[in-house]
Amino acid sequence: MTGPDLPPQGWSRLASGALARGGDIASSLLGILVTLFGLVLLTFVIGRTMPIDPVVAIIGDKAPPGVAERIREELGLDRSLIEQFWIYLMKLLQGDLGTSVMTGQAVTADILQFFPSTLELATSAMIVALLVGVPLGILAAARQDSIFDNIVRVISLLGYSVPVFVLALVCLLVFYAKLGIAPGTGSQGIVYQGMVPFTTGMIVLDAALDGQWDAFWDALAYLAMPAFLLAFITMSLIVRMTRAFMLEALNGEYVTAARAKGLSEARILWRHGLGNIAGRLVTVIAVIYAGLLEGTVLTETVFSRPGLGFYLTRSLLNADMNAVLGATLVIGVIYVCLNLLADLAQRLLDPRAR
């Protein structure tokens, strides 16, 4: 029955369901706002209580005391922490993260300049890791305790346990210094620097959009080694989680029933098995991707790529607390947003989550 033909009990159930969904949405939004406020408060308190004087970072430690006091008053650092936080929060609501001591620019402008490089590196690594890691994890689970499974587990253990900076240095030593088949550090060759217009901030994409194919292949060559390095580490995590989820799924009663019906192993694996774990796998992938967006600090430092991690490291070394707080806050917001999207995706993919 539809429309007016529904009995009163049907309308009651529909209304109750709508109210429940509305309550869930309101609860989720409230949780996000509380989380973001807590993140802002935590980063602010840490930034203000660290044993680093931002005034000294600006004027140096040999400036006259009067100058230091004047700068401190101009920055509002002579006020109480509560007043400072209120001022910071009001500016933050207007999109103002302060001015970077290191670059002399607005922190927001710096982040818009540096973050696309990190996004390019992390997204490239994640695409490669997904294309390789998910099928390997599924096949390893299907062939549990076989030679193939053992090889996959050893490779994933290697990628999971070896520090990223060690792998980065080994890659540079082997592929750049010894074999000479990969470019060194940076994101572009000297010949192409400044030639590609800043459109998205992702050099490979910008070069393709501008039709500069020589610059495109050059930027892609510089991106390849750090991207494949991060992809290897990320793939190791994805393989482990996919294999664990798939082993649990293959022991389910519905798989036994599917086999009794005579369905092929390929259909059981890729439709029933993968379909069953898709919701949980998306959640794991979202967390890993968020970790990539903020965890490329060492990779960007070793390969000298001008990304958010590189910017954050330089800001810490220069006691640029506005930049540190701004970058940390952006990373936190990314985590919250990706977790929210993963939760929504899980509800769509897995009826049990609804």
pLDDT per residue of the chain (354 residues) written in tens, 0 to 9: 444 555 555 545 545 554 455 555 667 677 778 887 888 888 788 777 776 666 666 666 666 767 767 777 766 777 777 888 888 888 888 888 888 877 778 888 888 888 898 889 999 999 999 999 999 988 888 888 889 989 988 888 888 788 888 888 888 888 888 888 888 888 888 888 888 888 888 888 988 988 889 989 998 999 999 999 999 989 988 998 888 888 888 777 776 777 777 777 777 777 777 777 877 888 888 888 888 877 677 788 888 888 888 888 888 777 777 888 888 888 888 888 887 787 777 777 665 555
Confidence (pLDDT) at 340:
79
Confidence (pLDDT) at 195:
84
**Domain 107-353 homologous superfamily, CATH:** MetI-like (1.10.3720.10)
Residue 353 DSSP code: G
- Count the residues in the chain: 354
Confidence (pLDDT) at 354:
54
Domain ranges of the chain: 3-93, 107-353
What is the model's pTM?
0.79
Confidence (pLDDT) at 126:
92
